[in-house]
Amino acid sequence: MRIKPEALNSQLSNKLESLYCVFGAEPLLIQQSLDEILAAARRAGFDEKATFDIDGNFDWGLITAEIANTSLFSPKRIIQCKLKTGKIGVKGSKALSELASHLPLDILLIITTDKLDLAQQKSKWFKTLEQHGGVIQHWEVSSDHLAGWISNHMASTGLTANKEVAQSIAFCTQGNLLASMQEIQKLKMAYPDGNINTQEFLAQAQEQSKYSVYGLIDAALLGDDAQVSKIYRTLIGDSAMPILLSSSLYRELKSIIDMSIEMHQNTDINAILKQYRVWNKRKPLITNILKRHPYQRLQKILLLLGRIDRSIKGADNLNVVDELHTLLLNLAGKNQWAQ
């Protein structure tokens, strides 16, 4: 059966199914559902857990052997299967279907994986999981729902609902749910009674955002090459920065290029900004970049970003630190090749 994520806790309090499958595009949301299931399992006496990372070459006999191996310490055990992909092959499909159909009463089977396409959700093994247990699907949190998602999680931690603070966190984290949760945790530590000093928080957030990856991207979009270089120098010591910057830049550029294409068919830039749900705070930035850079130039910058990303992964040989700086300066309109 299908279980909505928000209904999982209620379902678990009524009955613990023999198996659960949790999947989707957001690892943080998957982990939250997994934590709820594991907590309910512990309450039901499932004290031991064996975890298997599964790909197309996995030996499913290992799980069969684990189930057959009676525990000396706990009669109830959890078998967690982390599928690296929904494409588990014919043998994998048969083995998982057989496993789900004949689970012993003292075994709780938990399957987790990333996003599954429609074909994978119609496969025999997936249908078997639906038939014999609970399936929880997590969708991506879209930008227009992010502030609401943050507000709900603020409330769940005991923080007073605050629309301005939620919108500020959404703006600064740009859809990164883990970063959003970290900001909420920081708020809880700063305001243990739950009452947030809104003006104090917004002032601090504005100052901090200037020297973050997102502040760096905003400076480039605004065309402030001096600020780009200043922020870049402050961030360069963080080894994780190129990865975060590359992924954040890709999302930003892809969206801007799509809007640039729209501009050839629709001259009303406000209508385009509304269509792409650009936050009011970012409208001047996006308008500025769309007016300064034609589609061809943005596409060229995106191609360079692709090479940089491959270099980060070891598939190309660019100097990542230097090239990212060059790319940002080109985005700001500084270098000649982007003109």
Residue 303 has pLDDT above 70, yes or no: yes
252-271 average pLDDT score: 85
Q: What is the assigned CATH class of domain 213-338?
A: mainly alpha
Of 53, 60, 70, 167, the C-alpha closest to 113 is: 53
User: Residue 128: what pLDDT?
Assistant: 93
Q: What is the pLDDT of residues 151-201, one digit of tens each?
A: 888 988 898 878 888 888 887 776 778 878 888 888 889 899 989 888 888
- By the 10 Å C-beta count (0-12 exposed, 13-18 middle, 19+ buried), 317 is classed as exposed
pTM score of the predicted model: 0.60
**Domain 143-208 indexed as CATH 3.40.50.970:** no
Name the pLDDT band for 331 (thresholds 50, 70, 90).
Answer: very high
Helix/strand/coil percentages in the chain, nearest 5: 60, 10, 30
Residue 236 has pLDDT above 70, yes or no: yes
Of 282, 285, 262, the C-alpha closest to 332 is: 285
Q: 259 in helix, strand or coil?
A: helix
67-95 average pLDDT score: 83
Strands 134-138, 48-54: pairing is unpaired
Which CA distances in Å does 191 have to 158, 186, 207, 277?
10, 9, 19, 31
Neighbours of 181 (CB within 10 A): 17
Q: With contact defined as beta carbons under 8 Å apart, do 74 and 48 qualify? A: yes
CATH architecture of 5-138: 3-Layer(aba) Sandwich (3.40)
User: Residue 210: what pLDDT?
Assistant: 59
Taking the C-alpha atoms of residue 171 and residue 18, their distance in angstroms, rounded to an integer, is: 41
Alpha helix segments (H runs only) across 223-240: 225-235
289-301 average pLDDT score: 90
Taking the C-alpha atoms of residue 156 and residue 268, their distance in angstroms, rounded to an integer, is: 41
Q: What is the pLDDT of residues 84-121, one digit of tens each?
A: 888 888 898 999 999 999 888 889 999 999 888 888 99
Neighbours of 338 (CB within 10 A): 19
Name the pLDDT band for 72 (thresholds 50, 70, 90).
Answer: low
Q: Where are the domains of the chain?
A: 5-138, 143-208, 213-338
